[in-house]
Structure 1
Amino acid sequence: MLLLLLLTNAFVLLPWAGAGRIIGGTKVKAHSRPYMAFLEIKSGSKPSWCGGFLIRPDAVLSAAHCVDMRWRPRVTVILGAHNIRRQEKSQQRIPVVKRVIHPQYSRKDGKNDIVLLKLKKKANITGNVQCISIAKENERVSAGDLCTVSGWGQTSKKEVLSDVLMEVELEVKNEEICEQLSSNFQCQSMICVGDEDSKKATSHGDSGGPLVCNKKAYGIVSHALKKNHFAEVFTRISHFEPWIQKQLKRFSRKAISCFPFSD
């Protein structure tokens, strides 16, 4: 899946080799995560894939490293999918017309790893396609909180992309764990997540997918730490919420509502 760019203290997931993997997860009920987006990315001769999530009918959040390429990629968002290898009637394929990468994003150390994608047309909100709320500026998760990550990535190092959406439950860890593993870890803008038993992970990806806690997106899959393959770094959405809202206003001056996902 995603190739690994080895850094001094961490490795960042590179997008051009794939979308990532869910290890130790389970299949989700079809269309039970209607906010999930599958990103098809074409730059040069080789396609790649990433995850993302719908936060407004015209906007998807993902990781900047998914679309930060030398040649401007053509990105298509697929919404309403469960089995990505089938043309399900529920699926909506919408091209991306604008990508807004955070101005302080650093490919070298994975800082500010966030991108907002503007869709060519608004998604049709249905039972299979819905938005998810994002954490506000003052909202944070705490160590010990259990959250989930969904994706279509590999289920083991030897597997190919999963046909159907998978999900894994991970625990928010004490920030000191990631600080000890990487000098690049920033508490303010990153979340430390992992599994003490080393049986569950998204270590090679699900890049761009959401860390969902209590039906709200708090993080974005960013990168893993090389000294502990099951200590992972997620972009902290609450830190970037003011920036996200500013970009959404630029997308459309009119307020666009989207009733958030709920079970």
Structure 2
Amino acid sequence: MWLLLLLTNAFVLLPWAGAGRIIGGKIAAAHSRPYMAFLEIETYSEPIHCGGFLIRPDAVLSAAHCVDIKGIVNVTVILGAHNIRRQEPSQQRIPVVKRVIHPEYCPDDFKNDIVLLKLEKKAKINDYVQCISIAKKKERVGEGAKCNVSGWGLTSLKPSWSDVLMEVELEVQNEKRCHFSSDYKRQSMICVGDKYSEKAAYKGDSGGPLICKKKAHGIVSHGYDDLIFPEVFTRISYFEPWIRKQLKKFSRKIIPCFPLSD
């Protein structure tokens, strides 16, 4: 059963009830992306999975649509994972105690598709679990920039599963390519991927980071069934002031994390 939210002909990059992989990508070297988070979202009906990434020992960024669902019982973040089906010694399972969805998030058109998750306890920073820096307010990636996306989402339009973390290199596109949708907002979104490369993030990769120039610049948000390429990412730099404000509410103390460069 596909877990979808529909917007005309759009698909939201929500996961299937199991782990898959990125389209056109490759298996990531084990633990090479220690900022990656796997979200287990328990609902009254069936579990949902999404991606996310650690930006502070007590905070994970993800897509709002992952947790803007009725019937959520618990959300658990798994850090330090490579094979999500195994109980690897490197893994840290930490419950989420607070979900801060952007106040202007709109589920109908995915505007402001961002959520900050507060962890029950600080993650233990080590070789397997580290933070990634986020883009600052004025930092933008332009057309042609080569970026990386990782996740446990589907590998094709038909179900094809892999339990290990996958990665793919994608290119930032001219924003006109995403103007087929009147809902595209250049200030808060990034247009990524083209049909010629046949590479993309897909269902199950929602919430994962778009890593450009050693920083998280985007969050996997949504795409379109009949136009798999390009797809839309939330632009982190636009929300950086909001993120900083929420982090101060989490803790006024400076919490070092030794961010990892990609």
- Name the TM-score, length of structure 1 as normaliser: 0.94
**1:154 equivalent in alignment to 2:157:** no
Query: SS in structure 2 opposite 1:239?
Result: helix
Query: 1 CA distance for matches of 2:91 and 2:11?
Result: 33
Distance in 1, matches of 2:85 and 2:16, equals 19
| CA distances 1:47-95 after superposition (whole Å, capped 9, x unpaired) | 0100000000000000000000122441100000011111111000000
Q: What one-letter code is carried by the residue in structure 1 that aligns with 2:3?
A: L
Q: Percent identity?
A: 73
Partner of 1:83: 83
* Equivalence for 1:252: 251
Displacement of 1:225: 2.8
Query: Which residue pairs with 1:64 in the alignment?
Result: 64
Matched, 1:99 2:99: yes
Instruction: Please report how far the alpha carbon of residue 199 of structure 1 lies from its aligned counterpart in structure 2 after TM superposition.
Output: 1.5
Shift of 1:19: 6.5
Aligned partners of 1:113 and 1:222 also within 8 Å: yes
The CA deviation at 1:235 is 0.2
**Counterparts of 1:20 and 1:239, CA distance in 2:** 30
CA contact (8 A) 1:63 1:115 kept: yes
Counterpart-to-counterpart distance in 1, 2:110 and 2:20: 16
Q: Where does residue 203 of structure 2 map in the other structure?
A: 204
Q: Which residue of 2 aligns with 1:231?
A: 230
**Alignment-mate amino acid for residue 131 of structure 1:** C
1:43 aligns with 43
RMSD: 1.7
**Structure-2 residue corresponding to 1:31:** 31
Match of 2:175 in 1: 175
TM-score, normalised to structure 2, is: 0.94
Change (3 A) 1:30 1:135: same
Task: Please report how far the alpha carbon of residue 160 of structure 1 lies from its aligned counterpart in structure 2 after TM superposition.
Answer: 4.5
* Letter aligned with residue 228 of structure 1: L
Q: 1:22 to 1:170 in 2, by over 3 A?
A: same
Where does the alignment leave 5 or more consecutive residues of structure 1 unmatched?
A: none
CA deviations on 1:18-69 (whole Å, 9 max, x unpaired) are 6674000001110000000000000113001000000000000000000001
Q: Does 1:129 align with 2:129?
A: yes
Q: Is the contact between residue 147 and residue 169 of structure 1 (CA under 8 Å) also seen in structure 2?
A: yes
Cα offset, 1:215, TM superposition: 1.6
Is 1:221 matched with 2:220?
A: yes
Secondary structure of residue in 1 paired with 2:178: helix
1:142 matched to which residue of 2? 142
Q: Do the aligned residues in 1 keep the contact of 2:51 with 2:206 (CA within 8 Å)?
A: yes
Aligned partner of residue 224 in structure 1, secondary structure: strand
What residue ranges of structure 2 are gaps of 5+ in the alignment? none
Which residue of the partner structure matches residue 262 of structure 1? 261
Structure 2 CA distance for aligned equivalents of residues 89 and 122 of structure 1: 18
Q: Distance in 2 between matches of 1:242 and 1:62?
A: 16
- Give, in angstroms, the shift of residue 8 of structure 1: 3.1
SS in 1 for 2:162: coil
CA distance in 1, matches of 2:160, 2:43: 21
Q: Decide whether aligned partners of structure 1 residues 151 and 16 sit closer, same or farther in structure 2, where only a CA change above 3 A counts.
A: closer
CA contact (8 A) 1:19 1:207 kept: no
**Residues in 1 aligned to 2:188 and 2:231: alpha-carbon distance in whole angstroms:** 14
The alpha carbon displacement at 1:153 in A equals 1.6
Change over 3 Å in CA distance of 1:18–1:223 after alignment to 2 = farther
Question: How far, CA to CA, are the matches of 2:154 and 2:10 in structure 1?
Answer: 21
Secondary structure of 1:4's aligned partner: coil
Deviation of 1:2 after TM superposition, in Å, equals 5.1
In structure 1, distance between residues paired with 2:226 and 2:199:
16
Report the number of matched residues: 262
Note if contact 1:19-1:51 (Cα within 8 Å) is conserved in structure 2: no
